[in-house]
Amino acid sequence: MSILTISICFLFFLFFLSRKEKWFHPGVIMTAYWIGLIFFASLQLFGLYSISNWAYLVFVVGLSSFCFGTLYGSFFSAKISMSRKKEYVLDYRLIYILYFIVILFLLYNFKNVMELLNSGYTWAKIRRLYSNQGQVSGYNEVTMSAFNVMMNQFVSTPTIYASLPIAVSDMLIGKKDKKLFGMTLIMMFLWMMTSGGRSIVLWLVLYLFFGIFIVKKRNFQIPKKVKKIMRYSIIPLVFVFVFITVQRKGESMNLLREAYIYFPVGLKNFDYHIQQFENSLQPYLGGASSFYGFIYPIIFILKQIGIMDYPQWILDSRYYSFTILEPNSFIGLDMNAYATIMYQPYLDGGILGVVIILLLFGILCGYYYKKIDTKYIQARNLAIYLFFLQKILFSQVRFYFTQTQQSIAFIIIIIAFVSQSSFRNRISFIRERRN
């Protein structure tokens, strides 16, 4: 079944190339990426168990839906572009205020983590405690308080996730604001040191790689100063990435084994957990799992003001989307957390949920691909498309809008850019008030 799955991926890959799509088209990247992952998963290295035919079938159906979605999204985007066109600019004042608040918050947390490390805590323990935040009401010696957890989930981490594609799009085709890029790097460093997380370095490198190639294809010239800033900012972040990795895993870690677990093994973990879900006889969650990240903040606010308590369906969504994935599952080797982009949609409606949700995600990716596949690229569209590309190139992990932080990050990117007409009106209003 692995050979058939790879063959279908390859046929979609050839189909997109036959349409003369760019190599950064979402369908091209998704199919090429998963050809590699499925191939290595089929080798069953390090004792990995074989993947069931059902899991392969669900994956093929989901991939097909995504690919068809990209086609419809591109067509829809082209039709809208012919009828109307808005100019968007980054609201630097809003971004500066938000970043300043996050930096102050992270400095406070940084001080606490350094004290814990000096008292004998390890980076592995720091990461475990940070990741085990639970609901906003749950906290520990790293997260410290319910308010701290709330700030991490709803403000700090989403802002950092959003800041990466915003900074890259601004440096490449925006104002090239050094203050904005500098504040982004400070937030990244502080977040990595306080959470033990490392993935944002990979994301930034990915954003820069794709952003530069997308911009170069449109004959944009990247100033030498911008190249220098990017080059010398990445080196120390990579050093921090390696340092935290060694501290968390130990110097004796098997790098190849870690990479194998990080990338291809998620498909087997998906296979294992959908079988567990079906055996539990739990009803499908109807979208609450895939879009938990958008739903949970609303339910949280309603709970805080006394309108309602957490309904059972939101608790079930959290349990099956997160809690059940945290303990290690033995699938030939120990694996947790990563269950692929298909997992949460499957929880929502089985194979039908995978079809609908992957189709919608494909439409969004195709829509914004068409927005940047043009002679004139807006920074807003580039930031959004880079954000989606990261979800594709880490699709071995999860459907990302199940995370509150990722969902709010998407909203931040949307509101960070305002239409040029409304921005001018706002500036005129402020000047009038001053006079």
What is the tens place of the pLDDT at every residue in 410-423?
Answer: 999 999 998 876 55
Separation CA 128–CA 125 (nearest Å): 5
Residue 205 token pair: 């490198």
Q: How far is CA 68 from CA 137, 280, 399, 400, in A?
A: 42, 32, 18, 20
Q: How high does pLDDT run on average in the chain?
A: 86
Nearest to 154 by CA among 411, 398, 429, 421: 411
Sequence-ordered alpha helix ranges (H) in 174-288: 178-195, 199-216, 224-249, 255-262, 266-279
Separation CA 92–CA 293 (nearest Å): 26
Question: Which is higher by pLDDT, 435 or 120?
Answer: 120
> Does the reported pTM lie above 0.85?
yes
Torsion of CA 105, 108, 111, 116, to 10 degrees: -90
For the ranges 12-21, 213-222, 259-268, 421-430, which has the lowest average pLDDT? 421-430
* pLDDT on residue 135: 45
Residue 136 pLDDT level (bands cut at 50, 70, 90):
very low
Residue 117 has pLDDT above 60, yes or no: yes
Torsion of CA 260, 262, 267, 272, to 10 degrees: 100
* Phi then psi dihedrals of residue 315, to 5 deg: -70, -40
Torsion of CA 64, 70, 71, 77, to 10 degrees: 160
Residue 92 pLDDT level (bands cut at 50, 70, 90):
very high
Torsion of CA 18, 26, 210, 267, to 10 degrees: -120
How far from each other are the two terminal CA atoms of the chain, in whole angstroms?
72
Mean pLDDT, rounded, for 381-405: 95
> Could you give the percent of the chain with pLDDT greater than 70?
83
Sequence-ordered alpha helix ranges (H) in 86-198: 92-118, 123-131, 146-151, 157-173, 178-195
* Phi then psi dihedrals of residue 359, to 5 deg: -65, -45
For residue 89, the cross-strand partners are 418
Separation CA 33–CA 41 (nearest Å): 12
Q: How far is CA 330 from CA 52, 124, 323, 409, in A?
A: 16, 20, 16, 33
Q: What is the pLDDT of residues 300-346, one digit of tens each?
A: 999 988 898 999 999 999 999 998 998 888 898 888 889 999 999 99
Residue 228 token pair: 């220098």
For the ranges 41-45, 83-87, 270-274, 340-344, which has the lowest average pLDDT? 83-87
* pLDDT on residue 96: 96
> Could you give the percent of the chain with pLDDT greater than 90?
55
For residue 335, the cross-strand partners are 329
* pLDDT on residue 85: 66
Residue 397 token pair: 């992990």
Torsion of CA 282, 284, 290, 291, to 10 degrees: -100
DSSP 8-state class, residue 31: H
